Structures are given as C-alpha cells and as structure tokens.
Amino acid sequence: MRFLTFLLGCFLMTNIASAVKPNDSAYNFSFNTLSGHSPLPLDSFHGKVLIIVNTASKCGFTPQYDKLEKLYEKYKDQGLVVLGVPSNDFAGQEPGSDQEIANFCQVNYGVSFPMTSKEVVSGKNAHPFYLWAREKLGFGTAPKWNFHKYLINRDGKLIDYFYTITSPDSPRFIKAVEQALREKN
C-alpha cells in the first residue's frame, strides 16, 4: 500500500512540475540594442505593456513605423513600450547594417522607441523569443511577413498577436493595447 501511495505521489509531483513552466514569461528573453549591441533584457520592461514587432525598411508595410511611433508617443506615459526588431527574413527587405537601419528609422520616421539589432524571427533558427511565442500561441501565430506584432502584458504574459495587415492605428489593435494598459500588475 505504501508503495502505491509513493507511486501516486510521484505521478502527481511530475504532473505539477510539468504544469509550471519556467519560460512562461517574455521577461526570460533578451535582445541586443540596435545601437551599440548592448544587452536589452525584456525584464527591464517589467510592469510595462510591450509591443514587439519585427520590422523592415524596404517593405510595403514600412509606413507602419510612423503609426507605431505615434502609438508609442501617445501611450508611453501610461506604460507602453514598442520594441522594433529588424529582420531580413522576408524577401530581403532589411538588407542594411544596424547603423543604416538606425539612421533610416530616425531620418524617415523619427523613431524614438527602442530597437534591437537585426534578428532572425522565423523558422527553426529564429531568436529564442520568437520560438517561444510560436510555441506559446500555437500553429499559425509566427511572423509570416514584416510588421507582425506581439502584445505582452505588464506581467510578461504574451496575450495576443496581430498579423502584418493589422495597422497600429486600427480600432482592434488600439482596443487591445488600451485594455492591456488598464490592467495593473
């Protein structure tokens, strides 16, 4: 009887341990900054609402930089951070160096939100954040093109994603951002 109790206990402990996932937070990941390649751990944004968006300078959706900047300016004092992640994954539309990307964003769109160094965002060699997001949200949620957006709440929980065609000024996107900003951690 004790042996059966022991086995049942082991079984329950295994199930409980597997239910607690250490990578259940975006705060477990880090990028490097676009300028200077300094570490940029996502836990430095703890308590903020984060939009992580893969970007490109030579894409038909590149004007979303302007809308992302306006969104950032409007809500940053309420705790919003937009994090741009340049990527050359889709049709080679981000061929420049990190310095060229930084200059392009500043000169053409006045981007003041943080940007990371260029990263791979799709496929098996994607940055660990993107692999985690795909695993967390499931099939069909990984970037399929530039300007795919992930929304992360103040606790680091990945709460939604938005395809490229969802403009940063669309009512659906604004509503999701405002809802996340209203929730306190």
Question: Does residue 18 belong to any structural domain of this protein?
Answer: no
Residues that are catalytic = 59
Question: Does residue 3 belong to any structural domain of this protein?
Answer: no
pLDDT for 5: 47
pLDDT for 66: 98
- Classify 102 in phi/psi space as left (phi over 0), alpha (psi -120 to 50) or beta: alpha
pLDDT for 93: 98
Question: Does residue 6 belong to any structural domain of this protein?
Answer: no
CATH of the domain at 175: 3.40.30.10
pTM value is 0.87
Q: How many domains does the chain have?
A: 1
pLDDT for 184: 84
Question: Does residue 56 belong to any structural domain of this protein?
Answer: yes
Domain of residue 159: give its range. 23-182
Question: Does residue 60 belong to any structural domain of this protein?
Answer: yes
Q: Which residue has the tokens 């990028």?
A: 31
Q: Which residue has the tokens 């530039």?
A: 146
User: What stretches in the chain show pLDDT beneath 50?
Assistant: 3-21
pLDDT for 18: 37
Question: Does residue 5 belong to any structural domain of this protein?
Answer: no
Question: Does residue 70 belong to any structural domain of this protein?
Answer: yes
Q: Which residue has the tokens 């049942």?
A: 8
